């Protein structure tokens, strides 16, 4: 029986990716007050320890009233995306780190900030089909930006119905 060292390393990496995506999901579900999309982010060091976490929400001190959360224009003017919250609350440089996002890939605006922060790998679930119309044009740009800047990204099958 031959031992396939590289296959074993890929399997370990895939399991860690799933675990960190589940952590981002848990954090989003526990912290985000957004009634439509609860998103979470985990930034992980090369040794696979957590450097920072974030969720989508209003800035500290800003009231998250029912109207602000349920009137889309009001919400969009105030919300800080989970990826940005994770970068802002990190207490260290993030060069070479991995970003895990839930429930799907970063938007194109957050992608440029992640690139600038030094994130070198991004892992997210593949977008569910029911969300594709709303988000896919952003993901196309996000993928373009990551490719251009040499950021590795992987979209993992986590839902039964993905694009």
Instruction: Establish how many alpha carbons lie within 13 A of residue 57's alpha carbon, considering only the half-sphere containing its beta carbon.
Output: 22
Number of Cβ atoms within 10 Å of the Cβ of 126: 18
Q: Which helix H or strand E contains 7, and what residues bound it?
A: helix 5-31
Specify the DSSP class assigned to residue 76: H
Contact 153, 120 (CB under 8 A): no
Instruction: Establish how many alpha carbons lie within 13 A of residue 46's alpha carbon, considering only the half-sphere containing its beta carbon.
Output: 6
Query: Which residue in the list 22, 77, 83, 157 is annotated as catalytic?
Result: 83
Active site residue 77: no
Indicate which residues carry an active-site annotation: 83
């Amino acid at each position: 029986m031959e031992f396939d060292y590289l296959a074993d390393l890929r399997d370990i990496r895939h399991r860690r990716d799933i675990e960190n995506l589940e952590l981002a999901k848990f954090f989003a579900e526990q912290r985000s007050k957004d009634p439509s999309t609860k998103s979470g982010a985990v930034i992980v060091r090369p040794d696979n320890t957590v450097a920072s976490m974030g969720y989508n929400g209003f800035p500290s001190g800003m009231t998250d009233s029912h109207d602000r959360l349920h009137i889309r224009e009001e919400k969009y003017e105030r919300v800080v995306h989970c990826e940005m919250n994770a970068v802002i609350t990190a207490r260290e440089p993030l060069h070479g780190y991995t970003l895990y996002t839930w429930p799907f890939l970063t938007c194109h605006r957050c992608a440029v900030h992640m690139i600038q922060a030094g994130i070198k790998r991004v892992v997210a679930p593949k977008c569910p089909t029911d969300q594709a119309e709303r988000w896919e044009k952003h993901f196309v740009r996000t993928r373009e930006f990551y490719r251009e800047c040499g950021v590795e990204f992987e979209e993992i099958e986590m839902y039964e119905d993905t694009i």
